Structure 1
């Protein structure tokens, strides 16, 4: 595969093609079921909340300001969609984290059979117990960046750039989220992962951008999580020279 610095998007598509591979189906099926159930619940819940919000906003405004209802509604919908998207994505990843870690380990073994076994492979059950805590740590980092962006979305003039900033933010967060599984298996801390991915930022953002696109396409959004885990693992094995111990791949 080409070593272009912006080929991260191609690894997400490769992840889709790897989903039916023998040896991966069991690790893919459980996260896929979790993702399907959560997104279904999220769609049902958010539809009811949108209708309730519409009635509330309409009730607040006097008749002579009713035109504001149609002006503010797109902003409310955009904000609500962002909140719902991140909430249910975070919940899905927290629940599926143990399975995603095992999926990343299996993909690395298939992609590099002669390579060294990840140092955490013998601590599988410990990793299973601690992975939700790792996800919560990432959540705090995400919130720390999301709040300022949300505030900027309501600032006149500056909010014109909000969609672009949200897209870049989402691409970075998704790349960081799914790269954590292979990099975590190699012993990199969350801080070290951020440093590594910043060094490879064109590839990182193209990977995250394609993952974001998948999450926005009906049906394919259910496959986005396992495909991104597989893609991030292949990207780590094939493209990034650094290992968890600071050495370089041969």
Structure 2
């Protein structure tokens, strides 16, 4: 079945967006029923979380210096306009760092915890009747493909982050519209990243993921944005990551027109 034949649920875009967010909640529900998987799922996220927390804390510590370095032309301005510009620059730096950090955190954590998250994802699919069209992929081949696709997604998201960074300097727009656009962009790429394991099990790659999720974009965005916002909460990424993997298995099955209710 090709992507064009995938039929989206018969609801409005808002309803499908909320339904996508609900998949994350269902992921929590399915994940917490397996205490052993809960423990295993948190370990990789803890390792990556400690590293990223240290990096982000360092960025916050030096953000004033970075804002001044990015705006040398304002050195001779009067105090108030110079201060306002550099506050905007600092917010733009933090915002883009958060966007890129969330996406790279996901890629790094999925790579570090590949065996654990694969087990969680496959366990979810087993509860839903198994994986139709399953293909046996050697571990190292799967890990290599996952890393390559993750790097590709991170590179694209970083390119998108550049204009968002520039827009962050625009008064009001930079502090209102840009965060919303950033959450939408980040959510889309997170959804693409997280459904990787279910698609790999079916022998499908990044272009297949993109086509399938695009066929019902509101649902994919609802799921991705919900995960993105949770990842912005302190320690949220560590606690939510395993549930996001479980929810992504549901999203993948829905995008493929497969059974998403427990049997």
TM-score range, shorter chain: 0.7 to 0.9
Report which stretch shifted further, 30-39 or 155-164: 155-164
Query: Contact 1:97/1:135 (CA < 8 Å) preserved in 2?
Result: no
Query: Contact 2:66/2:90 (CA < 8 Å) preserved in 1?
Result: no
Q: Are 1:32 and 2:49 matched, yes or no?
A: no
Please list the CA deviations of residues 9-28 of structure 1 after superposition, one character each: whole Å capped at 9, or x if unmatched: 11101111222333x734x5
Query: Contact 2:24/2:226 (CA < 8 Å) preserved in 1?
Result: yes
Query: How far apart are 1:34 and its partner, in Å?
Result: 2.5
Equivalent in the alignment of 2:261: none
Query: 1:157-236 maps to which residues of 2 (within 5 A)?
Result: 159=174, 161-236=177-252
1:85 and 1:39 map into 2 onto residues whose CA distance is 15
Instruction: Give ranges in structure 1 of 5+ residues lacking alignment.
Output: 244-250
Report which stretch shifted further, 122-131 or 175-184: 122-131
Equivalent in the alignment of 1:104: 121
Equivalent in the alignment of 1:65: 78
Please list the CA deviations of residues 64-105 of structure 1 after superposition, one character each: whole Å capped at 9, or x if unmatched: 633323542243134234325523524333333453334322
2:214 and 2:119 map into 1 onto residues whose CA distance is 25
Query: Contact 1:98/1:128 (CA < 8 Å) preserved in 2?
Result: no
2:45 and 2:235 map into 1 onto residues whose CA distance is 11
Alpha carbons of structure 1 residues 123 and 218: separation in structure 2 relative to 1, 3 Å: same
TM-score by length of 2: 0.74
Query: 1:96-135 maps to which residues of 2 (within 5 A)?
Result: 96-113=113-130, 116=132, 118-120=134-136, 123-135=138-150
TM-score by length of 1: 0.77
Query: Contact 2:68/2:86 (CA < 8 Å) preserved in 1?
Result: no
Query: Contact 1:100/1:226 (CA < 8 Å) preserved in 2?
Result: yes
2:24 and 2:173 map into 1 onto residues whose CA distance is 32
Q: Are 1:49 and 2:63 matched, yes or no?
A: no
Alpha carbons of structure 1 residues 142 and 93: separation in structure 2 relative to 1, 3 Å: farther
Structure 1 vs Structure 2 CA RMSD: 3.1
Alpha carbons of structure 1 residues 144 and 186: separation in structure 2 relative to 1, 3 Å: farther
Equivalent in the alignment of 2:153: 138
Alpha carbons of structure 1 residues 131 and 185: separation in structure 2 relative to 1, 3 Å: same
From 5, 10, 33, the counterpart of 2:22: 10
Alpha carbons of structure 1 residues 138 and 98: separation in structure 2 relative to 1, 3 Å: farther
Query: How far apart are 1:135 and its partner, in Å?
Result: 1.8
Between Structure 1 and Structure 2, how many residues are aligned? Answer: 236
